Amino acid sequence: MTTPRRLYASNQSEVDSAQWIDVFLGQGNQHMLIFSGIAMPAYDSYNDDFNREHIVVMFDQVVSAIVQASATVGLASIHNTDSDFVFATDSVSVFRDDDSGRLALDCQLAVQGDYSLLSRFSYHAVVIASIDEPYVSGLIRWDPGVTGPRSQQLLHPIHSTPSPPVSPLFKITALRDLSSPSDPSYPIAVPTPLAFTSETPAPTVGADGLHQVPYTLRLGNVPNAVGEPFYLQGAIEPGAFPHAHTELVLEQTSGPSFVTLSGSHLHEDGVDFLVTAVQVPK
């Protein structure tokens, strides 16, 4: 079994006319990806034997898994002097490269003749693949001068005593206002949670001196998370800042008020929150 020779679709000296299309099928995180191009292996033969070559065309698209795939290859450029010849594209398949997660086309070639050259073959592949998942992410920031010390040290201690479970400080919830079914004659929009996250990674200090933790609200298995708008609500968990001298709230400071994810916009990054003190009216 020979090691396949890799050609990269992103390299025009290895693959010409490389094109691809990505469409969202509206079912889970499944996409249909269509690839076409002309691979240029320039594989030649100087004898009457069947000379076989194993080619892999690497695409740029990273996927989680292949659901279904169909591919064809065909001769695109051949050359022979005055000998008998065979040019063959013997097999083709699509696979996911485990190291990189990228899609790739696997093709077996054969050439016979003195002299013969299989310079190019064309390919067309249709792949239904799972790609990533929708999510919203951002930073939660706070000013210790406003909040006072936190309730607990989130960083692991140096000494190896077992650390108690760390309680979350914040909760980010995705909500959508849905009509209450209790009284159809008097509809009331009820904030309905779709999903929430309560991650508590170790905080860092940002360039502006504020403490911050990143959050990611994953929505991969949430029905209708893609295609319909929702909004985010941040909350400070009870006891997170026990030394604060004022009431604290978590306010969204960047990103859209209503998030709408789509097949081409599965991620909404940069939706940040800030812990602020409630202004008490005088």
Partner 1 sequence: MTQLDPLILNPSLGAVIEGHWIELPIAGPADRNVLVLVGGVGIITEGTLDTEDEDETADTHIWIETGYEFADGDSFDPAPDAHDVSAAVQLASINVDGSDPFTLEISKVQARKITPLELATIVLKGGQEGGQVEPGPGTPGPATSNDELVIIVTVHQSGDCSLQRLGYRAAVRLFRVDPNRQVSGPHGDLNL
Tell me the residue ranges of DSSP E strands in the chain.
5-8, 15-24, 30-39, 43-62, 65-80, 86-96, 102-130, 135-142, 170-179, 189-197, 204-205, 211-218, 231-236, 248-252, 267-268, 273-277
Q: Is 263 in the site for partner 1 (CB under 8 A)?
A: yes
* Binding test (CB under 8 A) with partner 1, winner from 10, 11, 23, 65: 23
Binding span for partner 1 by CB under 8 A among 19-27, 177-185, 187-195, 249-257: 19-27
CA atoms within 13 A on the CB side of 20: 17
Nearest alpha carbon to residue 83 among 44, 128, 46: 46
Binding span for partner 1 by CB under 8 A among 18-26, 171-179, 184-192, 247-255: 18-26
* Binding residues for partner 1, total number by CB under 8 A: 42
Binding span for partner 1 by CB under 8 A among 43-51, 117-125, 141-149, 167-175: 117-125
x/- mask, partner 1, residues 46-75, rule CB under 8 A, reads --------------------------xxxx
- Quick one: how far is CA 219 from the chain centroid? 12
Q: Is 151 in the site for partner 1 (CB under 8 A)?
A: no
Nearer to partner 1, 23 or 189 (CB): 23
State whether the Cα torsion 39-42-48-51 is positive or negative. Answer: negative
Residues 253 and 61: their CA atoms lie apart, in Å, by 33
Count the neighbouring beta carbons within 10 Å of the beta carbon of residue 145: 8
* Binding test (CB under 8 A) with partner 1, winner from 2, 3, 185, 264: 264
Q: Is 38 in the site for partner 1 (CB under 8 A)?
A: yes
SS3 147: helix
Binding span for partner 1 by CB under 8 A among 26-34, 129-137, 204-212, 244-252: 26-34
Amino acid at residue number 133:
E
Q: Which residues contact partner 1 by CB under 8 A?
A: 16-17, 19-27, 32, 34-38, 72-85, 119-124, 227, 262-265
